[in-house]
Amino acid sequence: MSATTELVSYVTTSSHWTGERGIPWRTFEHLRLSASAVAVGIVIALPPAVWLGHVRRGGLLAQSLVNIGRAVPSLAVVAILFPLSLRYGFGLGFWPTFVALVLLAIPPMFTNAYVAVRTVEPAVVEAARGMGMKRAQVIGRVQVPSGLPLILGGVRVATLQVIATATLGAFVGFNGLGSFINEGFRQQDDGKLLTGAFLVALLALLVDIAFGRVVLRITPWRAAPRATKGSSL
Amino acid sequence: MARCAAGYERIIAVKRSLKALLVVLTGVALLGSACGDDDDAGSGDTAGSADTKITIGAQDFGESAILAEIYKQGLAAKGYKPTIQKLGGFRDLEIKAFESGTINFAPEYAASLLEFLNNKAGEAGSDIEANLKKLEPRLFGRAKLQALDASEAVDTNAFVVTKATAEKVGLETLSDLATKGKDLKLGGPADCETNPFCIPGLKNTYGLDLAPKFQALETGQVADALDAGSIDVALLFSTDGRIEAKDYVLLEDDKTMLAADNVVPVVTKDLAGDESLVDAVNAISAKLTTDDLIAMNKRFDIDKEDAAVIAKDFLAEADLL
């Protein structure tokens, strides 16, 4: 059987669509984990990044710390946290993977947000101050909205990385789309393996498209110059 | 013009540094391969030829790693130069590795291998000789393989629960599990789902389908997951030292789903033609007992000792070095 027919035959078998090991449930679990990790990452990364960008200080230090985070392999984080998770009653799968994904999500969001706020045209910021805006207003009404496309670009990159990397959870018993890949590999079941890979890619693509729409809606003034669509640095 | 020249110089500079990088990378690669070759030759009698290429495939669980080390070091003592290839998976991968020529030797289990090769026909029984006889043509059909003498050491799958679960649900046998444990979560290596002595066997022999809630785990995680309560039933091996050490309840196979799973080395036809090699391997297998396996697994899983050290001690004790 060719790869495509194996994939099609796995996906079209009805028993693969039911129960907690079926396609819908695992997709849902995958999304739930990814969304929680990105949400928590946003809460941790964006406020300090915006603040440091605003005061234009401590950027280098923070940037270095965050970049060290990029060098830590997610698999190692998952593997180190797994026994701790079992010992302290957090169970298999979700929590070790969640922590690794939060750490993965922080660097691109932090970097983008910091640069976005810091590089807002100084004349605009001066003008805002000249109009009598207070600090919170300068940040909230001028700097963040101006930098929003870049900030959202960081969130977008982080989200895609998180969705792709959440597959690692399968190695510590997280029941997401990675489980199809892990089991397919171990059982030499190519249909199952390809199903996992295909669904992760599809999910990432759909989320990215949805993200693009949302970004366009939030920042309509960016619609014209598409070439500078928010990207990481 | 001047700008162009400057650009050109820059390109040359970049090219130079790329070249330097390439040289460094090549050096590192060569260094790595040189280091990989310095396995010392056996110090015993040199009946074997160092030219015979022996690559032993080890499956992804402790006992397989230990057995691979035992055969490797035992053969090294006879002057061969075997190497071990970790498969990172189970029987499915091992057979493919045989077929592709990546390995030509693997420690195996008679009944499980037979049922794997015959597509779960249910031929394997409790008589090891009968199992081996049925295994022969199946092995030859796949990549021209051959089994050498089987050892008396037996290791079967073992379904265990914690004492607390056994008392709460009232479990002593697999039949009990079939009637009272339908909703329990089974955890084990991923191949349990396709292994005829695991989920498919439970379905055929006991009418119990644990697939819907099956939790695939890395081999080393299974006992810990059971202790943590993340799974209810664990698939371990009967020679696992933790069953006794942790006071797990081994569910009795009252309908004899499990068969005579003696340790048996499987080799390619080419290797089987080498008489002194076959003699050396058979001499090792002859010394191996089930109790040896239990003791060695305990050292590996509980005391976290290295497979190579455990194997060396066994061979020294059995006077095979």
Cβ atoms B186, B180 nearer than 8 A: no
Average pLDDT for residues A78-84, to the nearest whole number?
93
Residue A68 C-alpha, separation from nearest chain B C-alpha, in angstroms: 24
Contact A186 B216 (CB under 8 A): yes
Q: Determine, yes or no, domain membership for A147.
A: yes
Cα separation, A168 vs A211, in Å, equals 23
> In the prediction, which pLDDT does A219 show?
82
B143 touches chain A (CB under 8 A): no
Q: What angle do CA B218, B214, B307 make, to 5 degrees?
A: 20
Q: Determine, yes or no, domain membership for B188.
A: yes
- Max Cα–Cα distance, chain A, nearest Å: 71
Cα separation, A48 vs A37, in Å, equals 18
Which of left, alpha, beta for B288 (phi over 0: left; psi -120 to 50: alpha)?
A: beta
Cβ atoms B276, B78 nearer than 8 A: yes
Structure tokens at B225: 């997951």
Of the residues B250, B284, B301, which one is the last residue of a structural domain? Answer: B250
Number of domains in chain A: 1
Q: Determine, yes or no, domain membership for B275.
A: yes
Average pLDDT for residues A9-22, to the nearest whole number?
92
**CATH number of domain containing A131:** 1.10.3720.10
Task: Name the amino acid, one letter, at B40.
Answer: D
* Domain with B298 in it: 55-154+260-317
Q: Determine, yes or no, domain membership for A39.
A: yes
Q: Which residue has the higher pLDDT, A67 or B227?
A: B227
Residue B212 C-alpha, separation from nearest chain A C-alpha, in angstroms: 6
Query: Is-above-0.95 flag for pTM?
Result: no
Residue A5's pLDDT band (cuts 50, 70, 90) = very high
**Contact residues on chain A for B214, CB-CB shorter than 8 A:** 21
**CATH number of domain containing B166:** 3.40.190.120
Residue B233's pLDDT band (cuts 50, 70, 90) = very high
* Domain match, B70 and B145 both: yes
Cα separation, B46 vs B78, in Å, equals 5
**Rounded-to-10 torsion of CA B105, B107, B109, B110:** 40
Residue A62 has pLDDT above 90, yes or no: no
Radius of gyration of chain A (CA): 21
* Domain match, B295 and B147 both: yes
Residue A68 has pLDDT above 90, yes or no: no
Residue in A86, A183, A186 nearest the CB of B224: A86
* Domain match, B146 and B265 both: yes
Residue in A89, A182, A188 nearest the CB of B92: A188
Cα separation, B94 vs B85, in Å, equals 10
pLDDT in tens, B157-215: 999 999 999 999 999 999 999 999 999 999 999 989 988 899 999 999 999 999 999 99
**Contact residues on chain B for A19, CB-CB shorter than 8 A:** 212-213
Which residues have a Cβ under 8 Å from the Cβ of A156 and sit 6 or more positions away?
A: A208, A211, A212, A215, A230
**Contact residues on chain B for A87, CB-CB shorter than 8 A:** 228
Optimal mutation site among B87, B95, B227, B230, interface A, most CBs of chain A within 10 A: B230
pLDDT in tens, B250-301: 999 999 889 889 999 999 999 999 999 999 999 999 999 999 999 999 999 9
* Domain match, B121 and B145 both: yes
Contact B92 A187 (CB under 8 A): yes
Residue in B189, B217, B230 nearest the CB of A91: B230
B218 touches chain A (CB under 8 A): yes
pLDDT in tens, A154-203: 999 999 999 999 999 999 999 999 999 999 998 888 999 999 999 999 99
Q: Which residue has the higher pLDDT, A12 or B6?
A: A12
Residue A84 has pLDDT above 90, yes or no: yes
Q: Which residues of B200-219 are buried (b: 16+ CB within 10 A; e: fewer)?
A: bbbeebbebebbebbbbbbb
Q: Determine, yes or no, domain membership for B197.
A: yes
Q: What angle do CA A111, A114, A116 make, to 5 degrees?
A: 105
Of the residues B216, B250, B284, which one is the last residue of a structural domain? Answer: B250
Cβ atoms A201, A120 nearer than 8 A: no
**Contact residues on chain A for B90, CB-CB shorter than 8 A:** 186
Q: Determine, yes or no, domain membership for B47.
A: no
Q: Determine, yes or no, domain membership for B34.
A: no
* Domain match, B182 and B209 both: yes
**Contact residues on chain B for A89, CB-CB shorter than 8 A:** 228
> In the prediction, which pLDDT does B8 show?
62
With both helix axes pointing from N to C terminus, report the angle between A178-186 and A23-55 in degrees, rounded to the nearest 10: 130
Residue A95 has pLDDT above 80, yes or no: yes
Q: Determine, yes or no, domain membership for A130.
A: yes
pLDDT in tens, B97-150: 999 999 999 999 999 999 999 988 888 988 999 999 999 999 999 889 999 999
> In the prediction, which pLDDT does B32 show?
56
Structure tokens at B232: 């209810």
Cβ atoms B187, B233 nearer than 8 A: yes
* Domain match, B84 and B227 both: no
* Domain match, B148 and B114 both: yes
Residue in B96, B190, B227 nearest the CB of A186: B190
Site of tokens 């495509």: A4
* Domain match, B134 and B98 both: yes
Residue in B96, B224, B227 nearest the CB of A188: B96
Q: Which residues of A touch B (CB under 8 A)?
A: 19-21, 82-83, 86-87, 89, 91-92, 170-173, 175, 179, 182-183, 185-189
**Contact residues on chain A for B193, CB-CB shorter than 8 A:** 183, 187
**Contact residues on chain B for A92, CB-CB shorter than 8 A:** 215, 217, 225, 228, 230
Nearest-Cα residue of chain B relative to residue A92? B230
Residue A117's pLDDT band (cuts 50, 70, 90) = very high
Q: Is B151 helix (H, G, I), strand (E, B) or coil?
A: coil
**CATH number of domain containing B271:** 3.40.190.10
Q: Determine, yes or no, domain membership for A230.
A: no
Cβ atoms A81, A95 nearer than 8 A: yes
Task: Name the amino acid, one letter, at A209.
Answer: I
User: How many beta-carbon pairs under 8 angstroms link A with B?
Assistant: 63
Optimal mutation site among B99, B185, B221, interface A, most CBs of chain A within 10 A: B221
Cα separation, B104 vs A62, in Å, equals 54
**Contact residues on chain B for A189, CB-CB shorter than 8 A:** 194
The DSSP letter of residue B202 is: I
Number of domains in chain B: 2
* Domain match, B133 and B273 both: yes
Contact A186 B187 (CB under 8 A): no
Mean model confidence pLDDT for chain A: 90
Complete edge-to-edge strand list for the sheet that includes strand B157-161: B215-216, B186-188, B233-237, B157-161, B249-250
Q: Determine, yes or no, domain membership for A233.
A: no
pLDDT in tens, B15-39: 777 777 777 777 666 665 555 444 4
Nearest-Cα residue of chain A relative to residue B187? A173
Put simply, the chain B residues between 278 and 317 with a CB less than 8 A from any chain A CB are none
Residue A188 C-alpha, separation from nearest chain B C-alpha, in angstroms: 6
% of chain B with per-residue pLDDT over 90: 74
* Domain match, B186 and B143 both: no
> In the prediction, which pLDDT does A223 show?
56
**Contact residues on chain A for B186, CB-CB shorter than 8 A:** none
**Contact residues on chain A for B99, CB-CB shorter than 8 A:** none
Residue B47's pLDDT band (cuts 50, 70, 90) = low
> In the prediction, which pLDDT does B1 show?
43
Q: For chain A, what is the HEC assignment?
A: CCHHHHHHHHHCCHHHHCCCCCHHHHHHHHHHHHHHHHHHHHHHHHHHHHHHHHHCCCHHHHHHHHHHHHHCCHHHHHHHHHHHHHHCCCCCCHHHHHHHHHHHHHHHHHHHHHHHHHCCCHHHHHHHHHCCCCHHHHHHHHHHHHHHHHHHHHHHHHHHHHHHHHHHHHHHCCCCCHHHHHHHHHCCCHHHHHHHHHHHHHHHHHHHHHHHHHHHHHCHHHCCCHHHCCCCC
